[in-house]
Structure 1
Amino acid sequence: MATFSQLAPQIIENVGGSENIQHLTHCATRLRFTLKDAGKVNKDALYKLPEVVKLVENPGQFQIVIGPKVEQVFAAIQASLGGQTTADPAAVTQGSLVNRLLATLSAIFTPYIGVLAGVGVVKGIVVLLQTLNLVDPHSYVFTVFNALASGVFVMLPLFIAVTAAERFGANKFTALALTAAMIFPLTDPGIPGEFHFMGLALNVKIYGGAVIPAVFAVLFLSYVERWLKKVIPELAALVFVPCLSLIICGFVVFTVIGPVADYVGVGIANGYAWLYNLSPVISGALLAGIGQIFVVFGVHWGIIPLALINIQVNGYDTIMAMFMSAVMGQFGAAFGAIFIARNLRDKQIAISASVSAFFGITEPALYGVNLKYKMLFVFGSVGAALGGAITGLLGVKTYSFLPVLNVFELGLFSGPDSKMIYEVLAIAVAFTVPAVLTIIYGKTRVLVPSAGPGLSGDLSR
């Protein structure tokens, strides 16, 4: 931790100092800063720091790609800042609409990506236990495994409540109370599924795992809270702001926001399904082929809500099945680079990048190897497109959300209309094709690294 303790102040200094940081969060591989003045960033100095792989600039957000050690670096920076990295509501209003949306999605979903990835592995174990008939589905062991694998996704609005409250400037405990109320009808069999109120048919048992309703519920809560704090005397605010916030938001959410947001979610899922079904093969090839471009620009977490919505509405998702091939394509290219490395350092970089990609983290492979030698990235994309086409052709689906794509979650591709072996075939093609192309290409010509900060070396023989 001593290394990270030394690194943190240097990062803070070179992004313009603590006073220039409005908000800081992280995903699986990146530090994501909202800065007051991006012009104060010293990019050359940042590139010289250990652990810094790449800098990615988006209007409204400055990203530093660290890799698997990002959580330790984030913790060290947070300690250096005295823990003052919570969201400033003003930060939400910066940048274009698209960039604000992406920044908001990142802030809401990335803090618990690791937990969702871990739960995905547990869910894969549950599926394998069922598929192979290794345990009685009514046994204690299976019940515990199933609870661990399913509880997070049913209670997902509670996770959203915490991060959305931080993003929108609402009280996180009031947000938790509001989203808990949305989930509560699922826990009581005595509550009817549908009510008729003011001529409307309202279903109160639709918010388990709900994404859009939970986000908009907390957003509305943030406005109600701010208004109530202005009109309620400070002496009474402790009790009556949360009390009135819950009453007002509760009825509005159950009557208007929840049903409308649910219809929006259904519409999004149906719209995606319509586009996908026009040609699953072309859709699979296209999305898998360009999948890692989203990672390059740091906007890949914007896919998360769509995949979650598909799971909630349809009970399955096809996007992550395609993106598994996108990951394996770049993995294959980086793996092939091991065999054409000219020196020990380049071989070590390729090995390290390949290990990270095997576990679903592709940034080290992208920035350390594949983008350095552009054809390797192209080979990875070609392999990904072929794998994605196979997933579309064979109708591969995942029956649980997969935020980090690796072989440990393959069990989740088995279900009523999909088989794990189909996804295995797809990722085998996605991996093998770029690995072979990389080796052939590297053996027959000199590879010249692309120009750019941090991009140097020679993998050619």
Structure 2
Amino acid sequence: MKYEQLAKDIIANVGGEENVNSVTHCVTRLRFRLKDESKANKEALMEHDGVVTVMQSAGQYQVVIGNHVPDVYQAVVQEGGFQAKKPVEAEEGKEKKGVFSSFVDIVSNIFIPILPLLMATGIIKGFNSLFLALGWLENTDGTYLLLNAIGDGFFVFLPIFLGYTSMKKFGGTPFLGMAIAAALVHPSLTGIKAGETIMTLFSGTVFESAVQITFLGIPVVLMSYASSVVPIILATYVGSKVERGFTKIVPGIIKSFFVPFLTLLVIVPLTFIVIGPVATWLAQSIGQGVVWVYEAAPLLAGLVVGAFWQVFVIFGVHWGIIPIYYNNLAVMGYDTLIAMTFAASFAQSGAVLGVLLLTKNKKLKSLSIPAFISGIFGVTEPAIYGVTLPLKKPFIMSCIASGVGGAIIAVTGAALYSAGPLGVFKIPTFIHPEEGITFGFWGMIISIVVAFILGFVLTLFFGGVNKKEKATNVENNNTVKNEEVKSEVTNNEEIASPIAGNVIALSDVPDEVFASGAMGKGVGIDPTTGRVVSPVNGTVTTLFKTKHAIGITSDNGTEVLIHVGMDTVQLEGKHFTAHIKQGDKVNVGDLLVEFDIEKIKEAGYQVVTPVIITNSADFKEVEVTEAKAIDEKDFLIKTVR
């Protein structure tokens, strides 16, 4: 009965029992499938002391509770009488996402795997432009040419990489998607485009096109597909359908080579004749439309896009805009749309600095320091979810400051000339590759300075930081808990690494709840082996039925959560093998769980694994190793009483 009232409040604020199709839970959150998400009262849930945060993703309404979620789940099921209800199939939940939500989900899954490479090559390209602008290099120098090949090569052949990720997302063979894209960017066809015209299609219209070749007598409009985005995504979508069709009818003995043979023969000509030209015309129209709006009212465009960008990020809507950005770079050589959002991370950082200086809440102050640092480098999720959004007013102040910064960028004509990283590292990508440092570049510098200062000042005077009673209550509660723990255990403890792999900061973990520190302090590991061993001597207190998450309480009272991958609960235990059960006593190095890294990735999930101290509030400090790579049983975390 401990969570009876919390369960009643949650059910009421998700729209009542009649609004719930089904409810399940993972290791940290309740996962509702609602009939109508608009009936849920997100604000009331976020304000509730028993709720960490609320997320809406993949057709699920996720109420983040913490490591006692199984008990809360039982109370919710009992209060709502959900045991008697038939479980709703995943497909039903997906249908309720809507067309735009489905589009955003597709685009994000296609682009997320290649974002690190886009950032890395963007840094190189940006600095190469900077060296050229400063006169340190000439565009004929071998050093410039080689750096340009490194920075530009990935973007030029972007369709090949998108061919892999998009075909994988659509359920086809990824390498088949790469083969389709490779044909699109083949240099022999690119060279023909400048040849003799044999006919002209759509004369007198905006789609007028010269034809240099035919395929089986059918005119082929040759386009430049280097750096393009939309054509390969549409081609792989159709290609995945074609491949599945041939898979059903081709005999098994020749299926391995005959299915790709037939698929390529159908989809590549179809792409050149129909899909590619139509997609290119569509992309060009979108790009020109964005430019028209920008040129018609740059001040208004910058103000609106800048102010609402962080809201778009929270709801994942920004993934619907990202393709326009890459399309603009490919078609026009520059982008003004995403350029107008650049000041947002600096506005957010200014607001966090204001909170850091004002707050009397020790927990909030400790969250603000890393959130401020990561914000300067363009990673704002820790700032948004851990600091400004819970306080509300600082988040609003940061949006206002971001809008002003976006307006300055728009009216000064600042533009992005290459895909690149985030935060301060993105600055060189505003340098014009031929004209160097222009007025627009200085406009960008002014915008981020103004956004930062404005976010800081507005938060200082209008942020209402110390008026948030809930934050004060949390601090008081933690103080009581710390005093109770000190009477039980007084010594510190070192936590060993449960997994071999590369260490990443918790703020870089691709999940807002873990990254914000809401579940506790810790670290992320990108595993190189599919093994989880015990990091402490203690007891297995939680083994989720899907085997993707393990909770262990050490003999010294430290509560450790190991969460293998992101959203891997959806795999329902596939590719995981447990070697222990809940309640088992374990020692450091004992094998807990094995998992298949490659198969999990093939299923579309990341394997980055947060290792969290869920009772971090019981400790004075939670220190993390400075090592970049780590083996099983190496030192990972130290808890200080």
TM-score interval (norm. to shorter): 0.7 to 0.9
CA–CA distance in structure 2, aligned partners of residues 44 and 419 of structure 1: 46
Q: Which residue of 1 aligns with 2:299?
A: 281
Note the 1:10-409 alignment, pairs <5 A.
39-41=23-25, 54-58=53-57, 60=59, 95-185=97-187, 189=191, 192=194, 195-197=212-214, 200=219, 202-204=221-223, 206-402=224-420, 404-409=421-426
Whose helix fraction is larger, Structure 1's or Structure 2's? 1
Q: Which amino acid aligns with 1:279?
A: A
- Report the CA distance between 1:435 and its aligned residue: 0.6
Contact 1:449 / 1:457 at 8 angstroms: preserved in 2?
A: no
Report whether the alignment pairs 1:411 with 2:428: yes
Q: CA offsets per residue over residues 397-456 of structure 1, 9 Å max, x none?
A: 111124x431112111122475322101011111110112222346x87331679xxx95
Contact 2:367 / 2:386 at 8 angstroms: preserved in 1?
A: yes
Q: Which amino acid aligns with 1:409?
A: K
- Of 405, 425, 447 in structure 1, the residue corresponding to residue 467 of structure 2 is 447
Q: Which amino acid aligns with 1:427?
A: I
CA–CA distance in structure 1, aligned partners of residues 126 and 165 of structure 2: 26
Contact 2:391 / 2:465 at 8 angstroms: preserved in 1?
A: no
Q: Which amino acid aligns with 2:102?
A: R
Q: Which amino acid aligns with 1:407?
A: V
| Structure 1 residues 257 and 382: alpha-carbon distance in aligned structure 2, compared to 1, 3 A threshold | same
Contact 2:30 / 2:62 at 8 angstroms: preserved in 1?
A: no
Q: CA offsets per residue over residues 163-185 of structure 1, 9 Å max, x none?
A: 11111111111111110110113
Q: CA offsets per residue over residues 180-230 of structure 1, 9 Å max, x none?
A: 1101137864675652435746124x1001111010111111011111112
| Structure 1 residues 141 and 326: alpha-carbon distance in aligned structure 2, compared to 1, 3 A threshold | same
Q: Percent same amino acid among aligned pairs?
A: 32
Q: Which residue of 1 aligns with 2:551?
A: none
Contact 2:363 / 2:475 at 8 angstroms: preserved in 1?
A: no
Contact 2:359 / 2:466 at 8 angstroms: preserved in 1?
A: no
| Structure 1 residues 456 and 178: alpha-carbon distance in aligned structure 2, compared to 1, 3 A threshold | farther
| Structure 1 residues 92 and 202: alpha-carbon distance in aligned structure 2, compared to 1, 3 A threshold | farther
CA–CA distance in structure 2, aligned partners of residues 245 and 445 of structure 1: 60
Q: CA offsets per residue over residues 128-157 of structure 1, 9 Å max, x none?
A: 011001123222322221111101111111
**Greater shift in the superposed pair: 280-289 or 406-415:** 406-415
- Report the CA distance between 1:93 and its aligned residue: 6.2
- Report the CA distance between 1:304 and its aligned residue: 1.1
Report the 3-state secondary structure (helix = DSSP H, G, I; strand = E; otherwise coil) of the residue aligned with 1:360: coil
Q: Which amino acid aligns with 1:40?
A: T
**Given the two structures, how large is their TM-score scaled by the length of structure 2?**
0.57
CA–CA distance in structure 2, aligned partners of residues 288 and 93 of structure 1: 32
Whose strand fraction is larger, Structure 1's or Structure 2's? 2
| Structure 1 residues 221 and 91: alpha-carbon distance in aligned structure 2, compared to 1, 3 A threshold | farther
CA–CA distance in structure 2, aligned partners of residues 128 and 141 of structure 1: 13
| Structure 1 residues 249 and 375: alpha-carbon distance in aligned structure 2, compared to 1, 3 A threshold | same
Q: Which residue of 2 aligns with 1:84?
A: none
CA–CA distance in structure 1, aligned partners of residues 253 and 149 of structure 2: 43
Q: CA offsets per residue over residues 293-319 of structure 1, 9 Å max, x none?
A: 011213322221010111111111012
Q: CA offsets per residue over residues 71-129 of structure 1, 9 Å max, x none?
A: xxxxxxxxxxxxxxxxx999976731111111101111111112211222111111101
Report whether the alignment pairs 1:436 with 2:487: no
**Greater shift in the superposed pair: 268-277 or 148-157:** 268-277
CA–CA distance in structure 2, aligned partners of residues 449 and 323 of structure 1: 33
Contact 1:373 / 1:449 at 8 angstroms: preserved in 2?
A: no
Q: CA offsets per residue over residues 28-70 of structure 1, 9 Å max, x none?
A: xxxxxxxxx97213586579xxxx98541135367899xxxxx
**Greater shift in the superposed pair: 253-262 or 310-319:** 310-319
Q: Gaps spanning 5+ residues in structure 2: where?
A: 1-20, 32-50, 65-89, 196-210, 477-641
Contact 1:94 / 1:100 at 8 angstroms: preserved in 2?
A: no
Report the 3-state secondary structure (helix = DSSP H, G, I; strand = E; otherwise coil) of the residue aligned with 1:203: coil
CA–CA distance in structure 2, aligned partners of residues 327 and 38 of structure 1: 37
- Report the CA distance between 1:284 and its aligned residue: 0.1
CA–CA distance in structure 1, aligned partners of residues 393 and 475 of structure 2: 15
Tell me which of the two structures has the higher relative contact order, counting C-alpha pairs closer than 8 angstroms and 6 or more residues apart.
Answer: 1
Report the 3-state secondary structure (helix = DSSP H, G, I; strand = E; otherwise coil) of the residue aligned with 1:40: strand
CA–CA distance in structure 1, aligned partners of residues 446 and 411 of structure 2: 12
Q: Which amino acid aligns with 2:296?
A: L
Report the 3-state secondary structure (helix = DSSP H, G, I; strand = E; otherwise coil) of the residue aligned with 2:342: helix
Q: Which amino acid aligns with 1:280?
A: P
Q: Which amino acid aligns with 1:338?
A: L
CA–CA distance in structure 2, aligned partners of residues 188 and 433 of structure 1: 49
What's the RMSD between the two structures over aligned residues?
A: 3.0
Q: Which amino acid aligns with 2:468?
A: V
| Structure 1 residues 289 and 145: alpha-carbon distance in aligned structure 2, compared to 1, 3 A threshold | same
Contact 2:104 / 2:316 at 8 angstroms: preserved in 1?
A: no
- Report the CA distance between 1:375 and its aligned residue: 1.2
| Structure 1 residues 175 and 367: alpha-carbon distance in aligned structure 2, compared to 1, 3 A threshold | same
CA–CA distance in structure 2, aligned partners of residues 92 and 209 of structure 1: 31
**Greater shift in the superposed pair: 278-287 or 236-245:** 236-245
Contact 1:89 / 1:169 at 8 angstroms: preserved in 2?
A: no
Report the 3-state secondary structure (helix = DSSP H, G, I; strand = E; otherwise coil) of the residue aligned with 1:136: coil
**Given the two structures, how large is their TM-score scaled by the length of structure 1?**
0.78
Q: Gaps spanning 5+ residues in structure 1: where?
A: 1-36, 66-87
Report the 3-state secondary structure (helix = DSSP H, G, I; strand = E; otherwise coil) of the residue aligned with 1:398: coil
CA–CA distance in structure 1, aligned partners of residues 344 and 466 of structure 2: 26
Q: Which amino acid aligns with 1:414?
A: I
Contact 2:29 / 2:63 at 8 angstroms: preserved in 1?
A: no
- Of 446, 449, 456 in structure 2, the residue corresponding to residue 425 of structure 1 is 446
Q: Which residue of 2 aligns with 1:81?
A: none
CA–CA distance in structure 2, aligned partners of residues 269 and 283 of structure 1: 15
Report the 3-state secondary structure (helix = DSSP H, G, I; strand = E; otherwise coil) of the residue aligned with 1:57: strand
CA–CA distance in structure 2, aligned partners of residues 367 and 220 of structure 1: 38
Q: Which amino acid aligns with 1:159?
A: F
Between the two proteins, the alignment pairs up a number of residues equal to: 391
